[in-house]
Amino acid sequence: MQREIVLNNTKYETKPVECWAKMKELRRWHFKHTWEVAARGGTVFIGMPEGIQGFLAGLGDYAYPSYGPYFTRMIRDSQQTIKVLEATEARGHTRDMCSVMKGYIGQLYMGMATRAPQGYTIKPAFVIQTLNCHTMAQTGQLYSEYLGIPYLAIDMPHKSSPETLEYGTAQLLEAIEWMEKITGKKYDDEKLIEGVKNEWKSARLWASIQIMNQNIPAPYDLRMTWSLRMPLISMRERPEVVDYLKMLYDETKYRVNNQISARGMETMRLFFEGFPPYYYIQILKQPQEYGAIYIINENNLGHGLWKIQSDGTYQVGETLEERGIPIRNREEAVRAEMALYFDRGRSGTWYFPPSRHIEVVKRAKDWKCQAGVIALDRGCHGYQVSIMERKMALQEAGFLVGTFEHSQADPREFSEAQTVDRMEAFFDSLGLKKLASAGVENEDAEE
């Protein structure tokens, strides 16, 4: 049975997010850092070692620009994005491959993936990839073969068990020796320990911040948290990011305590499942025209440390101390890293959990959503697993669900006019009315 929809017409105080500038500063630092490390002879590698960033800290002076440093710059320019995608297709890859990876691979073929802004090219020491996504796994292989550099592929089972914990730990311990051999540099266990502790703190802080978004009014909407999480994705193991997240945590607490809302109104709180089109990220702001907000997203939460209950409830995960996990040496640090990997939300264990349709409903309830949108993304195959099951479960629970199709990094697969129109029709059907100020951009330094 459809849930009753009640519009909240209360007006709340709002103000810009003070940590926004810090987030942007960290992002700029991350970009520059790759070239600085390369210039002083540190270790630069390439890949998306999701969920084991703390482990990398033992490399000391290191940097990794994902599969290339210019993805964000590319995606903001649709014409440039199309050129890159076409470069991938010209080499013989198909149009229906993951558009994000194609966005990187095209840059590799065009010589951009390893080119510094100053024009020179660097050769990464190796490729590292956690095999929690088959697409990234094959991208790592392709990079390794194309650049002629070794490939460290860490096999990551999708379930947490004593066996998988041992399996992951053993691989990482072996990987340390492998990296020492490849780079000729000593791996620093003290830095590993600090990195793992930082990663654990970062993930837990992110979860603690997100849980506060259950408050009415919500301190942030999804468009804000989508950007605020960026340092967490790219360098969660660094102390600067822990400091940033502590600041953000304090600011969030202040906003909650003082009823400071994300946008001044939240006529309706909406979930947004799946990835948004990165080249049209403003789609996350569309509900504002109705005084509504998108508030929650599986991937966005997934970067936090959660203890997900069997009924789908997200609880903030425990600290290392609460878990009774000591970190005194290399082995304990690596084991803690794997425990964090398996305990993290959906980003770590990726797409196989059979309970996603249960969690999506509980999330919608706990974050007090009344309806929402599912982005059917032809780009990422992994995150699309169970997307229709999740839609069905939400509908069975009485939520109204709107959908639109796109490919997250391929502008050719998206019709702005059609999608905006479709979403407007959906919002109309929810009983939302456009505000008199609709169409006036809320300038709060988002990017």
Partner 1 sequence: MESALATLRESVNHRHEYAQAWKQLTGGKVAGVFCIYVPEEILHAMGILSVRIRGSREPEDVTEPYITGWWCAHCRSSMAEVLKGKYSYVDGIVYAVSCPHVYQVYNSWSRHSNLSYTYDLWIPENTRNSYALGFLQKEFSKFARSLEEWTGKSLNEEKLSQSIKLFNLNRQLLEQIYELRKAAKPSLMGSEAMEIILAGMAIDKGEYTKLLQDVILELNTRKPPTPRARLMLLGSENDDVGLVKFIESYGAVAVTDDLCMGRRYFAGGPISTDRDLMQALATRYLNRPHCPQKDIVERNRLPQIYQQIEDYRVDGVIYLLEKFCEPHAYDLPKIKDQLDKMGIPFLILEVDLTTPAGQFRTRVEAFLDLIDAKVVL
189-212 and 330-343 helices, crossing angle to 10°: 20
Question: Considering the complex, what minimum distance in angstroms separates the CB of residue 359 from partner 1?
Answer: 14
Nearer Cβ to partner 1 (138/313): 138
Residue 12, interface with partner 1 (CB under 8 A)? no
Nearer Cβ to partner 1 (38/125): 125
Interface residue with partner 1 among 26, 153, 224, 327 (CB under 8 A) is 153
Residue 254 vs residues 91, 219, 251: alpha-carbon distances, Å: 52, 9, 5
Q: Which residues inside 375-404 make contact with partner 1, applying CB under 8 A?
A: 376, 378, 381-382, 384-389, 392
Question: Considering the complex, what minimum distance in angstroms separates the CB of residue 433 from partner 1?
Answer: 31
DSSP letters, 31-84, are HHHHHHHHHTT-EE-BS--TT-HHHHGGGSSEE--TT-TTHHHHHT-HHHHHHH
Residue 105 and residue 87: Cα distance in Å, rounded?
9
Q: Which of these segments, 52-60, 134-142, 219-227, 255-263, binds partner 1 (CB under 8 A)?
A: 134-142
Residue 324, interface with partner 1 (CB under 8 A)? no
Residue 249, interface with partner 1 (CB under 8 A)? no
Residue 67 and residue 60: Cα distance in Å, rounded?
20
Interface residue with partner 1 among 10, 78, 80, 135 (CB under 8 A) is 135
Residue 352 vs residues 50, 104, 160, 348: alpha-carbon distances, Å: 16, 25, 12, 11
Interface residue with partner 1 among 12, 29, 249, 352 (CB under 8 A) is 352
Residue 419 and residue 403: Cα distance in Å, rounded?
9
Nearer Cβ to partner 1 (136/260): 136
* 163: helix, strand or coil: helix
Structure-token match 């936090």, residue found: 304
Nearer Cβ to partner 1 (176/230): 176
- Residues in Cβ contact with 10 at an 8 Å cutoff, skipping those fewer than 6 apart: 217, 265
Which residues form the interface with partner 1 (CB under 8 A)? 91-94, 96-98, 131, 134-135, 137-142, 144-145, 151, 153-155, 157-159, 163-164, 167, 170-171, 174, 351-352, 354, 357, 376, 378, 381-382, 384-389, 392
